[in-house]
Amino acid sequence: MAGGNAHNTSRLTTTVGCQIGDAAWRRSPGSQFASPLVTTTELGLVHTQSTVFGFDKADGTVAFTHSLPGGVAAAPAVTDNLVVVPRDTVGEGFDQIDLDTPTVYAIDHETGRRAWEHTVDGSFLASVTVADDIYVQSDREVHRLTANGTAVWRHSFEQPFDLQKIVSYIRPVVGSDAVYVVHRGGVIRLNRATGEAQWTRSAWEADFPPVVVDGTTLLASTGDAVVGLRPDDGRVRWRVDESPAWGPAVTDAVAVFDIDDGGLLGVDPTAGEEQWRTEDGHTICPPVVASGSVFTGGTTLSAVDTATGDRVDTRDVRTSVDWITPDADGLLVRESILGAPTIKRYSLR
């Protein structure tokens, strides 16, 4: 959900296995963190309250650490050679915050050295998105930056976000010619080239960032429904009256939602027709798609076939998996062990 995926869904384009192997290693960063895990080819990146850690994915050894001012914000993202990290003016567990303005820091993920920084108006930052450029959203504005930190455009909001709405899974979403953001419960389409607002859909409360399926459909998750919108004007194409616990994980053929009442729901993303449904209880982290499987977490780590909804593998982790990041080498997960966050690496075959 963060990094170099221009579709900005939970989708992974590379082929991975669906059988969950043993944990290759586990590490604790020694500090609380809430943001999603991000990977590069070599590293697993973790953003804690005071430090960015780069763990070697092969064995879990620490490749670099970089301390940053401010409080922990949302998820970082990666470019070819940088990890771009948002930092806030508030932070859990801090008596004093040494940052007056939300700031985005770019760190070389090979050397761990700071490359540049960019300040943003407001108090709170959402997760960073990387497509062709870098997109950053605060409670007051959206910025588009080049890979060297140069501002391309800035879009300001008339009213700021509520603090409770800026969380690690809120982020700008980049389509072919537009950027979509959730602000104060509404979805806003911005011109990708200029940052100018093109339409706002605010008739219902959007709880998660939308997902671009293709040129005909934009998926939005509200408090009580899954909605398919027309990207050109924001009009509703279809609606499924189910309460999603998270935003969807998407393939070209199916959008997978974790439903509050329990289980997963597979929906045709262009027509809104139900494809399949599971009856298992809902997970405590967003579902994520890799190849032909959707991975879910909780007290078990599971893989479900995206075409049928059939479970293909499961592993009892005897704790609580609350984030999953798949890549070609396996699953990087965050687990809570005796109240302390722990990073684990599971193999896939």
Does 94 score more than 60 pLDDT? Answer: no
With beta carbons less than 8 A apart as the criterion, state whether 144 and 186 touch.
no
What is the structure's pLDDT at 108? 92
Does 298 score more than 50 pLDDT? Answer: yes
Counting residues of the chain whose pLDDT is more than 90, the rounded percentage is: 40
What is the structure's pLDDT at 318? 79
Across 247-260, average pLDDT? 87
Q: Say how many CA atoms lie within 13 Å of 4 toward its Cβ.
A: 14
β 77-78/62-67 pair status: unpaired
Alpha carbon distance 226, 213 (integer Å): 14
Alpha carbon distance 226, 336 (integer Å): 30
With beta carbons less than 8 A apart as the criterion, state whether 136 and 121 touch.
no
Mapping DSSP to helix (H, G, I), strand (E, B) and coil, where does residue 120 land? coil
With beta carbons less than 8 A apart as the criterion, state whether 177 and 133 touch.
no
Does 115 score more than 80 pLDDT? Answer: yes
Reported in sequence order, the residue ranges of 58-156 that DSSP labels E, i.e. its strands, are 62-67, 71-72, 77-78, 82-88, 103-108, 114-119, 129-130, 134-137, 141-145, 151-156
Percentages helix, strand, coil for the chain (3-state, rounded to 5) are 0, 50, 50
Alpha carbon distance 308, 276 (integer Å): 6
What is the structure's pLDDT at 183? 87
Enter the pTM of the model. Answer: 0.90
Across 93-102, average pLDDT? 70
End-to-end distance of the chain based on CA atoms, in angstroms?
22
With beta carbons less than 8 A apart as the criterion, state whether 289 and 11 touch.
yes
The sheet carrying 43-47 orders its strands as: 38-39, 43-47, 51-56, 62-67
With beta carbons less than 8 A apart as the criterion, state whether 145 and 118 touch.
yes
Alpha carbon distance 91, 49 (integer Å): 7
- 150 Cβ neighbours under 8 A, 6+ residues apart: none
Q: What is the pLDDT of residues 137-178, one digit of tens each?
A: 998 999 999 999 999 999 999 888 765 555 666 889 998 899
| Centroid of chain to Cα 66 | 22
Name the most confidently modeled range: 74-78, 89-93, 265-269, 325-329: 265-269
Does 56 score more than 90 pLDDT? Answer: yes
Q: Which amino acid is at 345?
A: R
